[in-house]
Structure 1
Amino acid sequence: MKNQIKAFFDNEILSYLFFGGATTLVSILSRLVIYRISHQEILATILANIIGILFAFITNDTIVFKQKRKNWLIRLVKFFLARLSTLGLDVLLTYIFVTSYPDIIGQFVNDQLDQVNAIETLIAQVLIIILNYIFSKVYVFYK
């Protein structure tokens, strides 16, 4: 069993997907909790992204892309810059589908804003995982 787990995490794609899923879970839970407390969708989106970015950098740097400790600060800066673009996408999607036009999704959930926010969050996270892998592989953690 230990060898199977090691083999799983030695596969870059599988490892990335696992930690991408974990990052998504961390981001979604953070966002929903922050939104529940504050009822500020943009604030919840930004804070959840920051939490997710820190979690993702630590797991990607050490486990997925197996980087040496050297130059970690440069990678962290590049990682944050790359993730700012997906943060921008996330904020834009939140602004469009939750803040400005909640009826687009709301028509399917009786216009309940909490559910609109949750659905938009899931949709955005799928796009973000794909883009973040591309940015990480090409821009941040290349060998």
Structure 2
Amino acid sequence: MKEVFLYIFFGGLTTVVNFVVYFIARDLLKTDLIVSNTLSWIAAVLFAFITNKIWVFQSKTQGIIELLIELLKFVFYRLLSFGIDMGCMLLFINVMHLGDFLSKLFTQVFIVIANYVFSKLFIFKKKTVSSKESTKE
């Protein structure tokens, strides 16, 4: 239960990062929807990787190769959710004519759930010790 709470907490902060960067890019830098959403995704992924690795899933990696593999898996699954994010944003804004804020909010709720499943099942899996390894100790 602690893990779910931490994921929701840091997922909420990741969403804040996503929103802030999106609206800074869109309103201050005057970028279009795709550029704004891409920049916000990059910032959110970097923030989420660090917080998920350290505090949510407390993943321990040994060596740079293992860390890079974990990061690449994280980015791969976040690219999947980015496709969902971008598709939903384009659908909600361009087809359904919802505003940016509401579209971003609806999309992020779904993305947080999908990313938890990806992280739990495929990225930050707990390493199991085989019975053969445990008898050696």
Task: Sort the TM-score into its range (normalised by shorter chain).
Answer: 0.7 to 0.9
Task: Report the Cα distance in structure 2 between the residues aligned to 1:94 and 1:38, rounded to whole angstroms.
Answer: 18
Matched ranges for 1:1-143 at <5 A: 11-36=2-27, 37-70=29-62, 71-98=66-93, 100-103=94-97, 105=98, 116-143=99-126
- For the residue of structure 2 that corresponds to 1:53, the secondary structure is helix
| Alignment partners' CA distance in 2, 1:33 and 1:102 | 24
Distance in 2 of aligned mates of 1:140 and 1:128: 16
Q: Structure 1: how far apart are the matches of 2:67 and 2:16?
A: 25
Instruction: Give the AA of the match of 1:92.
Output: G
Q: Percent identity?
A: 36
**Is the deviation greater in 83-92 or in 67-76?**
67-76
Give the TM-score of the pair, scaled to structure 1: 0.81
* Contact persistence 1:42–1:94 (CA under 8 A): no
TM-score when normalising by structure 2: 0.84
> How far apart, in 2, do the equivalents of 1:18 and 1:69 lie?
23
Give unmatched runs, 5+ long, in structure 1. 1-9, 106-115
* Contact 1:32–1:118 (CA under 8 A) maintained in structure 2: no
Runs of 4 or more consecutive aligned structure 1 residues displaced over 4 Å after TM superposition:
none
C-alpha distance in structure 2 between counterparts of 1:31 and 1:123, whole Å: 15
What count of residue pairs does the alignment treat as equivalent?
122
CA RMSD of aligned residues (A): 1.4
Structure exhibiting the larger radius of gyration computed from Cα positions: 2
Task: Identify unmatched segments of 5+ residues in structure 2.
Answer: 127-137
